[in-house]
Amino acid sequence: MRDIRLRSGSRTAGLLIAVTAAAATLAVTAIGPAAAAPAAAAPAGATSPQPGDACTAADLGTRHPYVKSTEVSPTITHFKGWYVTEGTTGEQSVTTTTATTITVSVGLDDKIEASFAVDALNKAGVTVGLSVKMESSTTNTVSTAVTWNFNQPGYYGVYKGTKKVTGTYGSLNCNRAQQSDGSWALRWAEGPGSGTFTTYTTLEEGAVRCQDPVPAGSIMAKAQSLLDCGSTTAKAAHPAGAVAPTARQRQDRAAQPAAERPRAAAQAALDCQSPVYKIEVPGKPLSWGAPLLADDGVRLRPSSIFSAHLDNWRLCNVTESNGVLEATLWNWGNGGCATIAEPDASTERAILTTASCTEDDLQRFYIYRDVPGSTSIGVQNKYTGSMMGHDRYADGEFIRQYSSGRQDGTGTYDLTGV
């Protein structure tokens, strides 16, 4: 395997749309990478980079989401079949049962705390023209009682429902790209951090009978379909009150998949390159220093003869795809590999630390590089998708993960050969 040698040097880088029962027709919309969100939906002064746009060295430590595809589907979250007889009309409170649970999630996480996840859901909402949930939420936590004024007798479906919005997103990262004339430039390109998202709109509630005319593809029509209109259940005489779940309802509930978070698998033994590097703050004397104690983290430290090689790193098991390096960062001083601890994988600002080299995806990092001749890089954890950076420049400051990176450029470092 060839060495990736980087010479010393420096480079300074410069909806609410009303949701009605008649609103949503089931639709699948593919969004091309160059599709721009409406300008009015973005905060004043904000920009959303697109694949191929120019970026700067300060952007090497950042990432942005972009929506690749979306699907909007009317979904019934709570339902109860209810029979109203003559003499039992009027306002009644019906306790529904859970039909479908929708949990807001981005990638593997349903804790929407990171800026990248919020940005991805915001872009999804703009894409489909709907106001969607952009925080940790699940429809199962919503009260299931529906109070409704039943004016006529009949077989009703009492429901709560929403528009479920799902799709795929990509991750835009700044990296060097070779131009047609052979020169190099920094461009926003799709990185490896892609995945799926799920969210939903505001819940609506109501009651519908088999004979009621409803708009096709609406939430109300979805509720009506659960009644199995035309079946003996709908036609038979019933006492007033709840009707047992239909076969369709039981089938829908059984079809809901259980979420399971995959665990990273162990990889092969390390094959480290011979060059040794410091990961430095550009133009500053502090660099990444590995901890001596197992319960400490990687911090910014000054390099000196007393550093005991804790500031020295090797790239191991290096691969390259589309100009992006993937490597394990092995520390010469403590013999450990840089990692995000598994319990902290979904935590914004989790501390980078070192551990025994098991070579799983928590110990794998993507390295985005400036044009040849510059040592500027951005570092991204493979498993979490987050970029490495620091809150402030100070001796002893932790290196942390940030889902969108550090937008002030403090996530850009120099990979300088020792």
- Whether the Cβ atoms of residue 105 and residue 252 lie closer than 8 Å to each other: no
Name the one residue in this structure whose structure tokens are 């009309």: 89
At CA 85, angle to CA 84 and CA 89, rounded to 5?
A: 65
Find the helix or strand (DSSP H, E) in which 109 lies: none
Q: Which of 46, 302, 256, 23 is nearest to 161 (CA)?
A: 23
Distance (Å, whole) CA 197 – CA 318: 30
At 209, list the tokens. 């009978």
- 392 contact partners, CB below 8 Å, separation of at least 6: 410
State how far the alpha carbon of 85 is from the alpha carbons of 125, 177, 182, 233, 237, in Å. Answer: 42, 71, 80, 15, 9
Give the CA distances from residue 26 to residues 23, 71, 218, 362, in Å, rounded to whole numbers and listed in that order.
10, 8, 8, 38
- Quick one: pLDDT at residue 252? 64
CA angle, residues 43, 44, 48, in degrees to nearest 5: 60
Instruction: Please give the single-letter amino acid code of residue 155.
Output: Y
Phi, psi (rounded to 5 degrees) for 216 = -65, 140
| Beta strands 105-106; 154-178: pairing state | unpaired
> Do the strands 63-84 and 97-98 form a parallel or antiparallel pair, or are they unpaired?
antiparallel
The number of helix segments (H) and strand segments (E) in the chain equals: 4, 23
Please report where in the chains the tokens 């509930």 appear, as a residue: 253
Closest by alpha carbon to 302, among 388, 375, 397, 367? 397
Rounded Cα–Cα distance for residues 52 and 45 (Å)? 20
DSSP annotation string for 378-398: EEEETTT-PEEE-SS--TTPB
Please report, in tens digits, the pLDDT of each residue of the chain (418 residues total).
444 444 434 333 333 233 333 333 333 333 333 333 333 333 333 468 999 999 999 999 999 999 999 999 999 999 999 999 989 999 999 999 999 999 999 987 788 888 999 999 999 999 999 999 999 999 998 888 999 999 999 999 999 999 999 999 999 999 999 999 999 999 999 988 789 999 999 999 999 999 999 999 999 999 999 987 876 555 566 677 787 776 666 666 666 554 433 344 444 489 999 999 999 999 999 999 999 988 899 999 999 988 999 999 999 999 999 999 999 999 999 999 999 999 999 899 999 999 999 989 999 999 999 999 999 999 999 999 999 999 999 999 999 999 999 999 999 999 999 9
